[in-house]
Amino acid sequence: MNVYWHYLQIVCTFLALQYVNTLSHLPKSGKCPETKYHDWDYLVFSQRWPITACLLWEEKKEGNACDMPPAMATWNVHGIWPTKTGMEGPFCCPSAIHFDPTQLQPFLTDLNNNWTNIEGGTKEYSFWRHEWEKHGTCASVSPFLNSIQNYFRQGLEWNKQYKLSNILEQSKIVAGTSGYSPGQIFDAVKSVIKVKPTIQCEVDHKTKESMISEIRICFNKSLEPIDCDHSDSVTSGAAITNCDLNKPVMYFSEMPSTDMSYEVDYIDDGFRQHFEEQMYYLQVYKFLKFIIWFTT
């Protein structure tokens, strides 16, 4: 019997260590979930609507302010994201190319105007650093995106080539106070670019209004437009979108008046990370306590 309990203690200790090791490798809030490989199938080029992006930033934390682009009501680059079909990522791939802000100097004005760091109060190059480290490192295996300059120049080039304001206007969809159906927006873009885009919305959790957030166009590895992956959609309709098909999508031309509340389900990043770390240690403590009780 003593031998049995001895081996049982060894097994339980091993399981406890494995459990702790698994928890320690879970991605913490605010940290990039690193991918050890560059395996992806296509690129997602995402443009965001600055007004919605600003509303989200202001609601994320009290005191946040926005640095808007000179043309506030113009679609702005968010990023170029290598994507594996049916999945998110890869992210933060191993790369010998480390972010170097001096590489952006030749086209810095263009970046400030069209790939704007809307999140005011953050470091000057933080947004572009984030996009490169999370997505650019994975895209760098492409001969078209194999340097910091090539990656960011490509985003700026696509922004000029796919002027979403002009594309939407061709279907009489213009920024203002009127709402449009997700299908209208999807069809308007598809009719011009000839492939299926993805339409992204954010919801005001108090007024329940749906707001246009991003429009994404997908490309193959030869940088040719292709249909976006329908698995990105949370609806069963023809449009690839996360928007509620039963609600109009607001396409604001300016920041709504301050008496309107735009609440977003965000928790302060610092508090959330602290909470998750405390929960991690609590789970470890409970598990070890159980092992001690079980083996004594």
The residue annotated as part of the active site, out of 58, 131, 209, 214, is: 131
**Distance (Å, whole) CA 229 – CA 87:** 10
117-121: long-range contacts (C-beta < 8 A, 24 or more apart)?
Answer: 117/67, 118/50, 118/53, 118/54, 118/57, 118/66, 118/67, 118/68, 118/69, 118/76, 119/57, 119/64, 119/66, 119/67, 120/57, 120/64, 120/65, 120/66, 120/67, 121/64, 121/65
Q: Please confirm, yes or no, whether 25 is among the known catalytic residues.
A: no
What is the C-alpha separation between 200 and 79, in angstroms, rounded? 14
Catalytic residue among 135, 202, 209, 214: 135
Distance in angstroms (rounded) separating the CA atoms of residues 135 and 82: 7
Active site residue 131: yes
Structure tokens at 71: 């043309």
User: d(Cα 204, Cα 248) in Å, to the nearest integer?
Assistant: 13
* CB 242, CB 212: distance < 8 Å: no
Q: Which two tokens stand for residue 85?
A: 């079909």
**Which residues are identified as catalytic?**
78, 131, 135
